[in-house]
Amino acid sequence: MADEYLWWKHGLIYQIYPRSFCDSNDDGIGDLQGIASKLDYLVELGIDGIWLSPINKSPMDDFGYDIADYRGIDPIFGNNEDFDHLLDEAHKKGIKVILDQVYNHTSYKHPWFQESRKSKKSPKRDWYIWADPVGTGPPNNWLAAFGGRAWAWDHKTRQYYFHSFLREQPDLNWRNPEVQEAVFDTMRFWLNKGVDGFRFDVINFFIKDKKLRNNPLGFWGPYPRPYDWQQHIFDRDRPEVHDIIRGMRKILDEYDERMMVGEVVDEQRDPGLPTSYLGFGTDELHLAFNFALIYERWSAKKFMEHIRYYMALIPKEGWPCHVLSNHDFHRARSRYSFGRHTLARSKVLAMMLLTLRGTPFLYYGEEIGMCDGVVKRSEIEDPLGKWYWPIVTGRDPFRTPMQWTGEKYAGFSKVQPWLPVNSDHTVINVESQRRDPDSLFNFYKRLIKLRRDTPTLHAGEWLPRRSHHKVMSYYRVHKDQRMLVVLNFSRRGQTIKHKHNRRWEVVMSTRRSVGDKITGNVMMCRGYEATIFKEW
Ligand code: NOJ
């Protein structure tokens, strides 16, 4: 199979936050059987793979990003048989399954940590990062990503342990070869079962400075984070992490067509960081999310700058990966809402996501334009929200139940769900959008099909056109076909000029009829027009 036709290159991957997708046993929390019952919906939408946010056994201090058993399924979601069933069914329907694996840290309840904390002499002591106090305080100034010191004091053994996130999430010591082997074995366990790949959590955090040097202080991000005022030079992105990733890649390469996508967290939002984790494009991550767009305001020019920059940094044999929403960020629909133009904007974004070169990721509910939910203080579940309310309200609003229908609990469950259902579910839901030919859902469906059926759109080169303040436009070129994508980010009409006279035919558009032909070197675009043309 030609390289560009690999499923994870031409396909679309759909992120499911299992707690919030579909509840099959009426306990208010989504589960694996619920997901299995919605596979036909995913086939209808046209997606190629699902990424499941963590389903492993966990005390849920960080809703699964704190794993206590890498091989077991949390009973909230079902059991290993339910997983095998889901995997089988998904494969039968042509859907690949990617697991979220969290290897930077475990839960403090993981038997490895329980053993490690028993005594300084424990055989697993060095599986985590332990250090003596310096003076009367922690070993250095490192701060946790969720705020406060990254060192927690252990009374019993009178040492500190390191945690990049919550104190309930102690970091593994990846410098220890036993840890590496244990994790690699876990990967093999899931690969042998037939999972198609992994999403690796905070992969750039794995290795920390050996000497535990202090991080330089100073504010480094584009917007103030009250809880993090240092540059993470020594606790993240250490050069040795690339050796680990190369080791992981070798394991995946022993199997057929498996893929690993990495979350590379970067306070500076520099697209150069994720792309550096692709190595030569063949030896490290297959994909690394580009989060730059998630932080960007609604601007054709800014979007284009980020995309150009990111694309330019992708190694020759690497592959881009685009994302607009996930379980940690405000939903794209809410970030860019603009009164009655909101739907038009969502369509512009959808067309961009599906026509860029690279693998698009879609967050559950994005296809129907789900918005951030409203979660009252008393309903907050996310520890970030509990601590920082009202400065930061946490990530619950981005994780509310999937809106299947206009019924009381949105068809997600028959009982009150773990997070409140958005009140807009009476209007924004799958059932009603299926019936409406102009809905975002049907727009996504058509786009996904077009992308799948058109090699130029899923495999072609990406050639940006001259930058324009309001209109983003680029060509996709494959063999002898050239396509043009025009996305007007403004509600007013705009004009774009081509150097040469070309003849274009509309393939799909929000404002033109399919089959319409235009010639000449000047093109008028209507407000929020999103059009794919092909040259004829
Ligand atoms: C990144 C994940 O996306 C986030 O949800 C989680 O809280 C942290 N990593 C810690 O695992």
| CATH 3.90.400.10 segments of the chain | 111-162
Residue 266 pLDDT = 82
Q: What is the phi/psi pair of residue 187, to 5°?
A: -60, -45
Evaluate if pTM is beyond 0.75. yes
Q: Assess contact for 512 and 528: CB atoms under 8 A.
A: no
Helix (H, G, I), strand (E, B) or coil at 434: helix
pLDDT score for 520:
87
* Order of strands, sheet of 130-131, starting from the edge strand that comes earlier in the sequence: 130-131, 159-162, 151-154
pLDDT at 489: 98
The minimum-distance atom of ligand 1 relative to the CA of 164 is 10
Q: Compute the distance between CA of residue 156 and CA of residue 459 in angstroms, rounded to an integer.
A: 57
CA of 178 to the centre of ligand 1 (A): 24
Task: Give residue 170's pLDDT.
Answer: 98
Identified catalytic residue from 3, 254, 256, 480: 254
Q: Ligand 1 centre from 166 Cα, in Å? A: 10
Q: Which ranges in the chain are annotated with CATH 2.60.40.1180?
A: 461-535
User: Rounded to the nearest whole angstrom, what is the distance from the C-alpha of residue 65 to the centroid of ligand 1?
Assistant: 6
Which atom number of ligand 1 is nearest to the Cα of residue 328?
5
* Ligand 1 site-directed mutation target among 328, 330, 382, 398, most atoms within 8 Å of CB: 328
Domain 3-106+176-451 homologous superfamily, CATH: Glycosidases (3.20.20.80)
Pocket test for ligand 1, best of 65, 382, 386, 392 (most atoms within 8 A of CB): 65
In this structure, the number of other CB atoms found within 10 A of the CB of residue 257 comes to 12
Ligand 1 atom nearest to 102, measured from its CA: 11
Q: Residue of the nearest CA to atom 11 in ligand 1?
A: 65
pLDDT recorded at residue 499: 84
Q: Are 142 and 215 in contact (CB under 8 A)?
A: yes
Residue nearest to atom 6 of ligand 1 (CA): 65
List 201, 263, 367, 382, catalytic entry: 201
Residue bearing the CA closest to ligand 1, atom 5: 328
Q: What is the DSSP string of 453-521?
A: H-HHHHHSEEEEPPP-SSEEEEEEEETTEEEEEEEE-SSS-EEEE-SS---EEEEEESSS-TT-EE-SS
Question: 35, 52 in Cβ contact below 8 A?
Answer: yes
CATH C-level class of 111-162: alpha beta
Give, rounded to a whole angstrom, the gap between the first and last alpha carbons of the chain. 29
Can you read off the two tokens belonging to residue 374? 């409203």
Averaged pLDDT, groups of 10, the chain, 536 residues long:
80 98 98 98 98 98 98 98 98 98 98 98 98 96 91 98 98 98 98 98 98 83 60 94 98 98 87 94 97 93 95 96 97 96 98 98 98 96 91 93 98 98 98 98 98 96 93 97 97 92 95 95 95 96
Cα(509)–Cα(529) distance, integer angstroms: 7
The residue contributing the CA closest to ligand 1 atom 2 is: 201
Question: From ligand 1's centre to the CA of 32, what distance in Å?
Answer: 21
DSSP 142-175: -B-TTSSBSEEEETTTTEEEE-SS-TTSPBB-TT
- The predicted structure's pLDDT at residue 2: 62
Active site residue 254: yes
| Residue 174 in tokens | 């990846």
| Amino acid 271: pLDDT | 85
CATH entry, 461-535, from 3.40.718.10, 3.40.50.170, 2.60.40.1180, 3.40.50.970 = 2.60.40.1180
Give the Å distance between the CA of 201 and the centre of ligand 1: 7
Q: Ligand 1 pocket: which residues have CB below 6 Å?
A: 62, 65, 102, 165, 201-202, 263, 327-328
- For residue 326, give the ligand 1 atom closest to its CA: 3
Q: How far apart are CA 95 and CA 89, in angstroms?
A: 8
Give the separation between CA 530 and CA 415, rounded to whole angstroms. 40
Q: Give ranges for CATH 3.20.20.80 in the chain.
A: 3-106+176-451
Contact 136, 145 (CB under 8 A): no
How far, in Å, from the CA of 427 to the mean position of ligand 1?
31
